[in-house]
């Protein structure tokens, strides 16, 4: 009986980690270099979901700051017809934002893998 409980816990943890780290269907994971390569594309919107203080301390053009906490109410500021590239500090909050945008009907959504922590 104890082994069954241990396996159930291991499977539960594995499932949780997979949901957190594997991109949702339809969300691209791109590198910081791939994000930079899109900077000249007028059909791409760049969103930084970090807090305003984090954004100000380490700002990168052309990312617009829409904190994750405000994404639901401010997503109307974005064009659903254009690609959205989302970044945060590590890639975790931006993945949450990307999933939210997909649920709201955005077709082209990309998460910057590693976030600002991997910016070179």
**pLDDT, tens digit, 9 for 90 and up, residues 84-107:** 999 999 999 999 999 999 999 999
6 is catalytic: no
> Please, which residues bridge with residue 84 across strands?
45, 109
pTM (global) more than 0.85: no
Q: List the alpha helices (DSSP H) in the chain.
A: 2-21, 32-37, 52-57, 71-74, 92-103
- Total domain count, the chain: 1
| Long-range contacts of 35-38, Cβ-Cβ distance < 8 Å, separation of 24 or more | 35/85, 35/87, 35/110, 35/112, 38/83, 38/85
CATH code, 69: 3.40.250.10
Tell me, yes or no, whether 2 lies in a domain.
no
Does residue 6 form part of some domain?
no
Which pLDDT belongs to residue 40? 94
Range of the domain at 63: 26-118
109-112 and 27-30 beta bridge pairing: parallel
Q: Which of 84, 88, 95, 112 is catalytic?
A: 88
């Amino acid at each position: 009986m104890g082994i069954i409980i241990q396996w159930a816990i291991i499977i539960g943890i594995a499932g949780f980690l997979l949901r957190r780290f594997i991109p949702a269907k339809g969300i691209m994971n791109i590198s910081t270099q791939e994000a930079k390569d899109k900077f000249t594309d007028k059909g791409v919107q760049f969103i930084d979901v970090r807090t305003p203080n984090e954004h100000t301390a380490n700002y990168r053009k052309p990312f617009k700051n829409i904190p994750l906490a405000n994404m639901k109410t401010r997503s109307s500021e974005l064009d659903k017809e254009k690609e959205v590239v989302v970044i945060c500090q590590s890639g975790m909050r931006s993945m949450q934002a990307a999933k939210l945008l997909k649920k709201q009907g955005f077709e082209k959504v990309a998460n910057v893998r590693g976030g600002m922590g991997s910016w070179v």
